[in-house]
Structure 1
Amino acid sequence: MADVMHRSRPLLRTLVGDVLRRRRREQERTLAEVARDASVSVQYLSEVERGRKEASSEIVAAVCDSLGIELADLLAEVGRDLVVHRAPVVRLETARVRLEAARPHRAARMPRSSGAGEVVLLAA
């Protein structure tokens, strides 16, 4: 179960790499150009972009400088990407209303619960 949950959440290094690659490509720059300006090897920058290496804050700052982007903008974009990957959460009351609407004949017989002792199943 832990493996399933782990795989369903993107790693921060993957999201950072995705944003760096996207920004570099938007500027139509090569790995070699950005790596040279950031004083890192092409291979290392490639691994950072692919989410294979966890870049230090100094490396991330250097790559941001090379791309001419602010660290805050990088992090904001990573945050937006993270929201896209987040699983939706259904509130219990919303689920109960949907259930009652879907099964009106049972809803009339089901007493309203106080919430104490309820069992909730969340599925993705």
Structure 2
Amino acid sequence: MKTVEIRPQPKKTDLLSAIGETLRATRNERGLTLRQVAEGAHVSISYLAEIERGEKDPSSRVLESIAEGLDLEVSLLLLQIATNLDPDVARGPVAGTLAA
């Protein structure tokens, strides 16, 4: 019988968590409150908070609005989310294209 070594896989973040973590980190880096971003995005504070906690699944239009509230291009927000989801994305060809 052949022995198979089981290696632990690095924990990948699920999409809702990656979205929430990215939004919260970006908001905090920019020194913005939930209220400021929610008002800029035209969403309720409670809804934004639920998204940041990974409890709600925002539509693409809501993500676009939140990016506006963060004063960030939606493409960069999506790239940041993708990087949080899978750190290898940052080393891929897409990141190099956007950085150019």
TM over 0.5: yes
What's the CA shift string for 1:80-100, capped at 9, x where partnerless?
222249xxxxxxxxxxxxxxx
> What displacement does 1:9 show?
3.9
Task: Pick from 47, 51, 62 the counterpart of residue 50 of structure 2.
Answer: 47
Percent identical across equivalent pairs?
A: 35
Moved over 4 A (4+): none
* 1:38 corresponds to: 41
The CA RMSD over aligned residues, in Å, is 1.6
2:8 is matched with none
Q: Which amino acid aligns with 1:14?
A: S
| Paired residues for 1:24-103 under 5 Å | 24-84=27-87
**Cα offset for 1:25?**
0.5
Deviation, 1:10, is 2.2
The amino acid that maps onto 1:41 is S
Alignment gaps of 5+ in structure 1: 1-7, 86-124
Give the TM-score taking structure 1 as reference length.
Answer: 0.58
Query: Does 2:12 match 1:12?
Result: no
Q: Distance in 1 between matches of 2:15 and 2:81?
A: 8
Number of equivalent positions: 78
CA contact (8 A) 1:38 1:63 kept: yes
